[in-house]
Amino acid sequence: MSAVKSIAVVAPTKTYYHAVSASSGGGVIMAGGVLGTILATAALNTVTAGKSHSSFNDTVTEKLGDTGLNRKFVDALEAELKDAGYDVKEIELSGADMPRVTVRRDGTQMLKGPIYEGADAIMVVQNSDGYYASGTFSLYTRDVGAYITLYKGDTLDRIFSDQLRFNSGSSDSYRYATYLELNSDLPHAIQGVDEAAMALVPDFKADLLASLGVSAKTARAATPPQPGQTVQTAQKADTVQKPDSAKAE
């Protein structure tokens, strides 16, 4: 990461919201976001012990339109990159001269194809936004995640990955006994998903700084508030869980 000065972020597309129940085990759906339909399809195929309510995203779109969550999320990530000193721009991975996203069987992605010379690195964001019930009689609660990966532009090798997850289980303040109950409370339910997604941004910042050898505490101390600025501490309503620690490669 120390050699990276400029980052090209893959532009976001419309958010894909999921609702999944499973008789046993877990399964975070990494879908939608900047990778669109290809990841939605591949990720849904990874859920082998559950039931996906495939019409849920259509219902959200019909009732709420495009919530703009992916746009807000990527904007927030880009702001953190700029604060860390990177030159940031957005790109589309389209055209024969651009690398392409290839999805593995486990739902994660890699870049293949032509190298990219327009920036030192390419950042791809894979989102999971929705609700999950761990069993037939379990509550539907928010299951939100982001898998953020940076690839070296001239080799397409992965140089940074950050897997973030927000899931409070049955203690979640947004919880529903049935899919019907969830579906009937869409504006409120989707608001909860959006809040959970944005709550992951500070964790990305901390992991990014850690990859550079800078602690979040040191970063805060180095940037005192401006005169007249009020310092506020935001408290998350629920617990952010990170099943896999961020890795800088």
* Tokens representing residue 46 in the block: 């990874």
Nearest to 150 by CA among 11, 247, 13: 247
- Kindly write down the DSSP assignment for every residue of 66-115, as one continuous string: ---HHHHHHHHHHHHHHHTT-EEEEE---STTS-EEEE-TTS-EEEESS-
pLDDT score, position 217: 56
Quote the pLDDT of residue 169.
85
Determine the pLDDT at residue 135.
86
C-beta contacts of 192-195 below 8 A and 24+ residues apart: 192/142, 193/17, 193/69, 193/129, 193/130, 193/131, 193/142, 193/144, 194/67, 194/69, 194/72, 194/129, 195/237
- Provide the pLDDT for residue 147: 93
Tens-digit pLDDT profile for residues 14-25: 999 999 998 533
* pLDDT in the model for residue 92: 94
Please tell me the predicted confidence (pLDDT) of residue 52.
Answer: 64
Q: Which residues pair with 10 in a beta bridge?
A: 91
Q: Which residue positions in the chain have pLDDT lower than 70?
A: 23-52, 108, 215-249
